[in-house]
Amino acid sequence: MARIVVITSGKGGVGKTTTSAAMATGLALEGHKTAVIDFDVGLRNLDLIMGCERRVVYDFVNVINGDASLRQALIKDKRTENLFILPASQTRDKDALTEEGVGQVLDELSQEFDYILCDSPAGIERGALMAAYFADEAVVVTNPEVSSVRDSDRMLGILASKTRKAEQGEGPLPSRLLLTRYAPERVDKGEMLSVEDVVEILSIEMLGVVPESQSVLNASNAGMPVILDKESDAGQAYSDAVARFLGEERPHRFLTAQKKGILGRLFKG
Amino acid sequence: MKGIFDYFRSPPPPQTSARMAKERLQVIVARERGHRAGPDYLPALHRELLEVIRKYVRVNDESVQMTLENQGDCEILEVNITLSESERQL
Ligand SMILES: Nc1ncnc2c1ncn2[C@@H]1O[C@H](COP(=O)(O)OP(=O)(O)OP(=O)(O)O)[C@@H](O)[C@H]1O
Ligand SMILES: [Mg+2]
């Protein structure tokens, strides 16, 4: 039986797809057979971030409609063993993801995989609800910024009441926070919410903090999950998050600004 | 007089923009959580109450505040209607 994990946020553009690609790759690197599903119907992007966009033949909706088998639609990752991608459909039909269809695909995947990651679309509409509905747990991706934090809280409300687990009376969906695009030097200047602020407002357990980093853009340009860039701060932060996800205890890194030399501070102005 | 060591210490942050963000978020998140916890009919009840009140006095949307509390085995719906000077007469 696979563990189903939704990567969600409410607000758009905060780093869900970046996180889905990185975490799926990280779990596969640890030897877990992992499938990552793009739920963003109409706006397929995970394939591009994973660098497999030219190998897409069938998609999620084709499988739901019975036009293709899962085996035909799943793309085996070229770089990482144990990793498979199920791309989103580019249909404009927003109702293409039915609860029954999604449930069947997840059931079938569950037979074979250890982890299924669901890359949620933005918003709190059907696509986002479907990505979350069957999940066993959630990773809530948030930026240290007012609208993202507020939307994350709304999403937490949905995870607590509108998922299958919640409906079956198992209580709120276990959810952890991944704070991304964090800029410690701006936090120091009082220009950005700190990790502690966000954790306090959302009262949620922290999975990790990913710094704002050029390496994320570089990785997406190359179609390579940033976690494979072992030298980069963001890549290392994602590796830590995956280790914590798997139960390991790791100290949080990249929370403080790079120290400037004495001269740098004297002439700061 | 500013000593040499003062150059190494950043000044205490006054009302920073991050503080403001945090305070505003705490208020709005608490309010929205309250709404989520309440029964579904509360927003509609709020709207209709406003309509009825407005037949008699001019009030703005914030002047009607509703809170639902559990006390023992009964629920108390408290409705507070604030009338300010200028709003008294229609
Ligand atoms: N840690 C980071 N540092 C710098 N840029 C980042 C970081 N994380 C994400 N980004 C950038 O933010 C943008 C949005 O990222 P991404 O597509 O992963 O977000 P998303 O939440 O999936 O968006 P959508 O809601 O549209 O699906 C991208 O340009 C990405 O490169
Ligand atoms: Mg995305």
Write the CATH number for B70: 3.30.1070.10
pLDDT at A265: 54
Binding residue ranges of A for ATP: 11-18
Range of the domain at A187: 3-246
In a domain, B59, yes or no: yes
Coil, helix or strand at residue A90: coil
Determine, for residues B29 and A146 on separate chains, whether the beta-carbon distance falls below 8 Å.
no
Higher pLDDT, A93 or A197: A197
In a domain, A175, yes or no: yes
Higher pLDDT, B6 or A9: A9
Q: Give the count of domains, chain B.
A: 1
Of B12, B84, B25, whose CA–CA distance to A149 is shortest?
B25
Residue A20 is encoded by which pair of tokens? Answer: 């889905």
Whole-number Å distance, alpha carbon A8 to ligand 2 midpoint, is: 9
- The Cα diameter of chain B in Å comes to 68
pLDDT (tens digit per residue) in A161-212: 999 999 999 989 999 999 999 999 999 999 999 999 999 999 999 999 999 9
Determine, for residues B18 and A266 on separate chains, whether the beta-carbon distance falls below 8 Å.
no
Range of the domain at B45: 22-33+40-89
In a domain, A233, yes or no: yes
pLDDT at A207: 97
Higher pLDDT, A43 or B75: A43
For residue A187, what is the domain's CATH number?
Answer: 3.40.50.300
Q: How far apart are CA A230 and CA A239, in angstroms?
A: 9
In a domain, B7, yes or no: no
Percent composition of chain B: helix, strand, coil (DSSP 3-state, to 5): 50, 20, 35
In a domain, B82, yes or no: yes
pLDDT (tens digit per residue) in A224-235: 999 999 999 999
pLDDT at A268: 47
In a domain, B51, yes or no: yes
Q: How far apart are CA A103 and CA A190, in angstroms?
A: 45
In a domain, B9, yes or no: no
A32, pLDDT greater than 80: yes
pLDDT (tens digit per residue) in A99-148: 999 999 999 999 999 999 999 999 999 999 999 999 999 999 999 999 99
* Residue numbers in A near B18 (CB within 8 A): 187, 190-194, 197
Query: Which whole number is the average pLDDT over A37-52?
Result: 94
Closest by Cβ to B22, choosing from A189, A193, A265: A193
Q: Residues lining ligand 1, judged by CB closer than 6 Å?
A: A 9, 12-18, 40, 121-122, 180-181, 210, 212-213, 216-217, 220, 234
Q: Give the count of domains, chain A.
A: 1
Residue of B7, B22, B27 to mutate when probing chain A, most A C-beta within 10 A:
B22
DSSP string, A164-196: HHHHTT--SPPEEEEEEEE-HHHHHTTSS--HH
- List B residues 9-68 in contact with A (Cβ-Cβ < 8 A): 10, 13, 16-19, 21-22, 24-26, 28-29, 32-33, 36
Q: How far apart are CA A206 and CA A241, in angstroms?
A: 9
Our measurement of the distance from residue A152's CA atom to the centroid of its chain's CA atoms, rounded to an integer in Å, reads 13
- Which parts of chain B register pLDDT below 70? 1-14, 85-90
Coil, helix or strand at residue A143: coil
